[in-house]
Amino acid sequence: MSQSYNRGLIEDFGRWREFTAGMWAWIFHKFTGWVLVGYLFTHIAVLSTATIGTGVYTETLQSLESLFIVRVLEVGLLSVAVFHILNGVRLLMVDLGVGLEAQDKSFYAALILTGVIAIASVPTFVEGVF
């Protein structure tokens, strides 16, 4: 027997207020996954074009790392990657039927752990920029 659901109107953007933990987990996972893909292509583009001449590679990296905004973006990238990995492992566990009763809790745990790791990484990422 199939059930039908009232999914509401797609134009009703205010529905995000009613989103449950599972919906946020789905949105964050898609978002972080596609940010990682975007970063991967940018990373390859920057590094491959920085090999055209002697010293260009070192100069490119040194000038990027001297910018405070790049250090902030690095913390952001780490956060995105850590969340995607933790939530991805959580999803794989769910697919295996492990922890089905604690899906919200494990999502919150992934969020908190991501925050802790991101904060702990700040001293390393800002070192030498000032």
| Binding stretches for ligand HEM (CB under 6 A) | 29-30, 33-34, 36-37, 40, 84-85, 88-89, 91-92
Nearer to ligand HEM by Cβ, of 21 and 126: the residue is: 21
Whole-number minimum distance, CB 86 to ligand HEM, in Å? 8
Whole-number minimum distance, CB 1 to ligand HEM, in Å? 25
* Sign, Cα dihedral of 52, 56, 62, 67: negative
- Give the separation between CA 7 and CA 96, rounded to whole angstroms: 28
Here the tokens at position 94 are 């769910």
Whole-number minimum distance, CB 52 to ligand HEM, in Å? 25
Query: Cβ atoms within 10 A of the Cβ of 1, count?
Result: 2
Nearer to ligand HEM by Cβ, of 67 and 92: the residue is: 92
Whole-number minimum distance, CB 40 to ligand HEM, in Å? 5
- Give the separation between CA 81 and CA 33, rounded to whole angstroms: 8
